Chains A and B, each alone.
Chain A
């Protein structure tokens, strides 16, 4: 991709860019997805999105899917996601059926261990084996410590914007960075916008670099 303004040109003729986001209730998965969707609309692209509300929201897995381009249904077929953004390492594995050889995968390296593990009714695999599994399968893999980067930006709550920033840095990502920023400003509380923009920029820089080593 040579110029920012070339982004998304392909979407205008029948190509569909499919994004699958998976996180845990409270991590801001839906917010990040809505920001992408509104930015796509600003670019003049068609976009549909699916989100989960209600009972599954609290502490459970939250999945959203976006299809940018001339799609009718907001659900992505197995193996069909161009981009998977996982807000938690094991959640990336949970959605592995959505990605294939050419997919791009961004993973937050900070684990969130559910109470079921403390109670001994489920198991949290060794992080190193999670990353190893991802590395052997995914060619385009970006593992970033979004929690640490968000903390440095000013608030741990901005993890979602770090991941969004990293996504925006992917060459194939169909939406220009400035449209994402504009959409962030319209969707986030003015009070926290500075921190969020900082988190987004750090994530973007991390994405450009291709992810920092996290010691694995």
Chain B
């Protein structure tokens, strides 16, 4: 399949779509007008598709500078009567939370969907937060798809519900839904309105306390009505496999595991699949509880529905056993899979479930942690900084490396070990300010270009104003790298591929008033090391911007131009000092069985930085 087909494939056709791609098609079939995001795994591919097709689809799409801005852009569009769609990873909703909470109060006019992609097991995330709780905190209706077809269909349903009740809708996916592929049957693509009109109503849209007191009451009334719809919605369905002793309440990915385990073992159970799960359909669940002897709740991550079920049992004074996470039938942590669900069910029913024989090995297996790519400019930055630190005879224990969310945090790996603290987007500088005040250690904060635009500017202002003594390294690789290579405000192209003003990081830093500001291409190791030496000795806020395109960009450009430079090691010159292997550590450089050092030309990116690292000048361009 070509990406374009997500837009062009006709009604009645079918595509093998990722959950994220299905969200795009669902938005297009709903006549969406405006789409905004800040990239975050596992939601990123939604944006990757929109940035390729938005122009042709006649949809406005942007990579906003952060999730809060993205949410505000979509909120305003919905207030102006357009259908809007904003999506982010689960922790992105924390960044957007302030405006998100208020948007639920003020409401919308055009339909608005907020998609949060949660990451159970934390494949690419710092926490396992369950944003179904966020739905309850905000008082927003919640939809939980189980597969790509449902993602697509729920977009349409969500927009209609949103417009009916003038309230935004939260869709919660998880990694296994966002990154699951399945066959999706398509409907017609509908062209959305190009522009809306904002009709003023300050009592609705200005969050003065007096206004919001009324809105709060209205919100609760809306939720009461929406609950009735959830109670009767065909999205919440009972799958009856016979027998009425044992019932399972489930949603999202967990539903898929339940269905496969039940089908494989021919279990006689009743399953209640909740797709429209907040406001919790109390009446429907009550009837279900009454129709079985005991209930198992199967859900990822927190016992959210389990608590709701227990509340119903308490409210109606029903004496029935509820199994789930709270009693240890199922684990509280990490994502589920068929084995976990099968083991949970086996604990309850009096039946041996099919357990297949499996193999294992006792051989040691090599570790493959994620690493900086061959040709990554962050490796050059890290190497030059490490050298400057050594030259100045600074001790590692006297330095705090405050890192941030981005590829450069991979310098946590040996031999660099340059990440001591990292908690959230943009935190490197704020954390740096705190350490600078609380200790006499030298603070070095690392932050990427996209992360700097996202949440790095306010803490830099803080550092300058509060006279902190820190070195801030802004690693500007001209891209939002870790999420797969999206544009950001620092590059001259916007999310739709149009030319756009390039926001200068250096001008921002100078404007804020940092005392020492230098921009350098880190691929020049010597110069970079010299600048780091100066910066490390500067008292106050020193900022070094290391500017060089991500290897993904240079690789793509070289491919386009037909350039293929590879480096090789001249074995006669090589003294086997292993600096390139042990200190520089590019994944393309390896030691052969015979002890010789070689470069894997399949991996080599041709950046040539290793040639500068080699004291014997033994690394040269392959002819």
Contact = CB atoms under 8 A, between A and B. Distances in A.
Interface of A: 24-26, 34, 37-38, 41, 46-61, 70-80, 90, 93-94, 96-101, 113-119, 121-125, 129-130, 133, 137-138, 156-157, 186-187
Contact of A37 (B181, B257, B358, B367): B181
B44 A34 contact: no
12 contacts: A37-B181, A41-B16, A47-B182, A53-B484, A54-B123, A55-B41, A73-B253, A73-B256, A75-B257, A90-B365, A90-B366, A113-B590
B442 interface: no
A72 B591 contact: no
Interface of B: 1-2, 14, 16, 18, 41-42, 44-45, 123-124, 146-147, 176, 179-183, 253, 255-257, 259-260, 263, 337-339, 342, 355-361, 363-373, 414-415, 482-484, 581-582, 585-587, 589-591, 602-603
Contacts of B146: 72
Contacts of A38: 1, 16
Contacts of A93: 361, 363, 365
B360 A97 contact: yes
Given A97-B360, A100-B358, A125-B364, 12 more contacts: A38-B16, A53-B44, A56-B123, A59-B369, A79-B359, A99-B359, A114-B371, A115-B590, A117-B366, A118-B590, A133-B361, A187-B1
B45 A53 contact: yes
Contacts of A125: 363-365
A125 B368 CA distance: 14
A54 B371 contact: no
B184 to A, nearest CB: 10
Contacts of B181: 34, 37, 47-51, 74
B6 to A, nearest CB: 14
B183 A100 contact: no
Contacts of A124: 366
Contacts of A133: 361, 363
Q: What are the 5 tightest A-B residue pairs by CB atom distance, in nearest-first order? A: A79-B356, A73-B256, A79-B358, A54-B41, A54-B124
A48 B370 contact: no
A60 B263 CA distance: 34
B180 A122 contact: no
Contact of A74 (B180, B585, B587): B180
A51 B44 CA distance: 14
Contacts, number: 188
Given A47-B16, A90-B365, A56 B602 contact: no
Contacts of B356: 77-80, 100
A72 B260 contact: yes
A100 B18 CA distance: 29
Nearest to A74: B180
A77 B338 contact: yes
B183 A119 contact: no
A210 to B, nearest CB: 21
Nearest to A103: B359
Contacts of A156: 602
Contact of B42 (A48, A54, A97, A113): A54
Contact of B366 (A26, A77, A113, A157): A113
Nearest to B342: A77
A59 B368 contact: yes
B363 A129 contact: yes
A156 B603 CA distance: 11
A104 B248 CA distance: 35
A78 B124 contact: no
Contacts of B338: 73, 75-77, 80
A72 B358 contact: no
B256 A96 contact: no
B359 A73 contact: no
B2 A101 contact: no
B44 A54 contact: yes
Contacts of A51: 18, 179-181
Given A53-B44, A96-B360, A100-B357, A121 B414 contact: yes
Contacts of B259: 72-73
Nearest to A101: B357
Contacts of B368: 24, 59-61, 114, 116
A37 B415 CA distance: 40
A52 B122 CA distance: 12
Contact of A122 (B357, B367, B484, B590): B367
Contacts of B373: 58-59
A106 to B, nearest CB: 16
Contacts of B590: 113, 115, 118
B359 A96 contact: yes
A99 B360 CA distance: 9
A97 B359 CA distance: 5
A57 B124 CA distance: 10
A155 B364 CA distance: 31
A122 B368 CA distance: 9
Contact of B179 (A53, A59, A73, A114): A53
Contacts of A71: 260
B147 A72 contact: yes
Nearest to B259: A72
B44 A50 contact: no
Given A51-B179, A72-B146, A34 B365 contact: no
